[in-house]
Amino acid sequence: MTETEWQRALDDAGELDPSITERIIDVHGDRGVRAIEAVAERRVKQYLDFTVVVGHSDEYVVEDGGCTCKDSAYNLDADDDSQRCWHVLAAAIARRIGALDHHDMWYSDVREFL
Contacts of 13 (CB under 8 A, 6+ apart): 20
How far is the C-alpha of 21 from the C-alpha of 10, rounded, in Å?
A: 9
| Stretch 59-80: mean pLDDT | 91
Q: Measuring CA to CA, how many Å separate 33 from each of 70, 72, 104?
A: 18, 17, 29
Q: Show me where the domains of the chain are located.
A: 3-111
Confidence of residue 52 (pLDDT cuts 50, 70, 90): very high
How far is the C-alpha of 34 from the C-alpha of 86, rounded, in Å?
A: 6
Is the pTM value of this prediction over 0.75?
yes
**90 pLDDT exceeds 80?**
yes
How far is the C-alpha of 76 from the C-alpha of 66, rounded, in Å?
A: 10
